[in-house]
């Protein structure tokens, strides 16, 4: 499967345009926190979660502008998680996406607060109580086309995926499992919660914002759960096989930290076999949408067989 970052350019440009509107200007007082937020948000990245959200929306409506605020929100939450994950108390990484991590550039205190600020900003955006909303065409579309009931469901999906029943719970078990040689159920929990939950929530939010049915919500949620598992498997493979210059961070850190990974437990070949199995399962879930899901299928191929 050929890696094709071109798939993300249209969605990434749209999301970055909107995020720029939502984020405080870097010269807005107090400047240091705003600079740190922007530094991390615009440090690069594939924008996979917002792209998945927008493509899920496109399955059910041609008007995807109403989904852009939610796409920004999940990217803000993802960026906050990376800032905190890089901290000395967590993974203690010096580089992210080829540049110094937020705490290296701004200090630990500002990095912690920048992550906190991005998390809370995500819910300002989702609830339409952001000060910039009145001047933001994406918020206007969100307000016009998305009912309060649907907004509330989207907020619930994203909040649940971000908290102790999702990303944070997975992060805790991930840290507590270092050097412990956990069983496969624990590793599956880490992958499902730490990585998979926000990816699944992105797909489910897209279905809700596009006006999909409950059966679509279930199907795309399952698709997202499998994709999230695969995303972590590929990350684990890249930690062994990846190119430093492409990834923008050091490889080999999982083994050094004795991380609880499928690869460490089952080996390289089993991990690649599981990745391939998951690919066929995820693609089969898109079959009912036929040609409408072509872009989503292409992005899926990239996620599974990327090299960075």
19 within a domain of the structure (yes/no): yes
102 within a domain of the structure (yes/no): yes
Confidence at residue 2, expressed as pLDDT on a 0 to 100 scale = 44
Average pLDDT across the chain, whole number: 91
Q: How many domains does the chain have?
A: 1
DSSP states of 127-161 as a string? HT--TTGGG-HHHHHHHHHS-HHHHHHHHHHHHHH
Residue 19, burial from CB neighbour count under 10 angstroms (0-12, 13-18, 19+) = buried
Residue 32 in tokens: 């240091």
**287, 223 Cβ separation under 8 angstroms:** no
Confidence at residue 78, expressed as pLDDT on a 0 to 100 scale = 98
307 within a domain of the structure (yes/no): no
163 within a domain of the structure (yes/no): yes
Confidence at residue 174, expressed as pLDDT on a 0 to 100 scale = 93
194 within a domain of the structure (yes/no): yes
Confidence at residue 256, expressed as pLDDT on a 0 to 100 scale = 75
1 within a domain of the structure (yes/no): no
Nearest-10 crossing angle of helices 48-58, 214-241? 150
246 within a domain of the structure (yes/no): yes
Q: What CATH number has the domain bearing residue 288?
A: 1.10.600.10
18 within a domain of the structure (yes/no): yes
- Is pLDDT larger for residue 20 or for residue 255? 20
Q: Which pLDDT tens digit goes with each residue over 215-245? A: 999 999 999 999 999 999 999 999 888 666 6
Cite the DSSP H helix spans in the chain.
6-22, 31-41, 48-58, 68-85, 102-106, 108-127, 137-145, 148-162, 167-176, 184-190, 197-210, 214-241, 244-247, 253-257, 262-266, 268-285, 294-305
Percent of the chain residues topping a pLDDT of 90: 79
210/224 Cα distance (integer angstroms)? 16
25/237 Cα distance (integer angstroms)? 38
Percent of the chain residues topping a pLDDT of 70: 92
Domain holding 195, by residue range, is: 6-302
Length of the chain: 308
Residue 55 in tokens: 């493509």
Confidence at residue 6, expressed as pLDDT on a 0 to 100 scale = 72
pLDDT confidence of 1, banded at 50, 70, 90?
A: very low
Q: Does position 123 have pLDDT exceeding 70, yes or no?
A: yes
pLDDT confidence of 41, banded at 50, 70, 90?
A: very high
């Amino acid at each position: 499967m050929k890696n094709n970052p071109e798939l993300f350019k249209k969605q990434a440009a749209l999301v970055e345009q909107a995020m720029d509107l939502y984020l405080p200007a870097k010269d807005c007082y107090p400047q240091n926190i705003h600079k740190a937020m922007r530094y991390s948000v615009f440090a690069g990245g594939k924008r996979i979660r917002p792209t998945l959200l927008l493509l899920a929306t496109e399955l059910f409506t041609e008007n995807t502008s109403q989904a852009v605020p939610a796409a920004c929100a999940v990217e803000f939450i993802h960026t906050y998680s990376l800032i905190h994950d890089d901290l000395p108390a967590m993974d203690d990484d010096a580089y992210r996406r080829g540049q110094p991590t937020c705490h290296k550039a701004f200090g630990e205190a500002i990095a912690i607060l920048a992550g906190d600020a991005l998390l809370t900003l995500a819910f300002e955006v989702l609830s339409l109580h952001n000060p910039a909303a009145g001047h933001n065409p994406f918020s206007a579309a969100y307000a016009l086309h998305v009912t309060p009931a649907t907004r509330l469901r989207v907020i619930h999906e994203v909040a649940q995926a971000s908290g102790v029943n999702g990303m944070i719970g997975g992060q805790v078990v991930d840290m507590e499992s270092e050097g412990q040689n956990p069983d496969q159920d624990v590793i599956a929990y880490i992958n499902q919660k730490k990585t998979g939950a926000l990816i699944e929530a992105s797909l489910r939010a897209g279905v809700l914002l596009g006006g999909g049915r409950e059966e679509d919500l279930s199907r795309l949620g399952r698709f997202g759960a499998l994709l999230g598992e695969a995303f972590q498997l590929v990350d684990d493979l890249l930690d062994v096989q990846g190119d430093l210059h492409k990834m923008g961070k050091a490889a080999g850190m999982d083994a050094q930290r004795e991380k609880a990974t499928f690869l460490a437990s089952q080996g390289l070949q089993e991990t690649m076999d599981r990745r391939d199995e998951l690919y066929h399962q995820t693609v089969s879930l898109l079959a009912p949408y036929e040609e409408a899901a072509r872009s989503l299928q292409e992005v899926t191929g990239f996620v599974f067989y990327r090299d960075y």
